Amino acid sequence: MSINSINHYILSDSCRSNSILHYDLNKINKLYNDWCKYLPKVKPYYAVKCNSDIELLKTLRDLDINFDCASAAEIKACLDLDINYERIIYANPYKFKHDIVYACNNGVKTMTFDSIYELEKIKELPFTQYSNLIMRIYANDTSAQCNLSDKYGAEIHEWESLLERAHDLDMNVIGISFHIGSGAKNPDIYKEALKQCRKLYEMAILYGFDLSLIDIGGGFTVNNFKLMASTINDALDMYFPDEMGCKVIAEPGRYFAESIATFYTKIIGKRTRQNGRIDYIAADSLYGLFNCKLYDHSIIQPPEIILNINNISRKLHNPKIQHQTRIMGCTCDSNEILFDEIYLPEMEPDDWIKINNFGAYTISAASCFNGINFKDIKCIYDY
CB within 8 A of 205, min separation 6: which ones?
Answer: none
CA atoms of 75 and 96, how far apart (whole Å): 13
**Residue 154 in contact with residue 199, Cβ under 8 Å?**
no
What ranges in the chain are assigned the alpha helix state H? 3-10, 27-38, 54-62, 72-79, 97-105, 116-124, 159-168, 188-206, 225-239, 254-257, 292-295
Active site residues: 332
CA atoms of 247 and 255, how far apart (whole Å): 21
Question: Taking the mean position of all CA atoms in its chain, how far away is CA 197?
Answer: 24
Output the CA torsion sign for 55, 56, 57, 60: positive
**Residue 355 in contact with residue 300, Cβ under 8 Å?**
yes
**Residue 258 in contact with residue 360, Cβ under 8 Å?**
yes
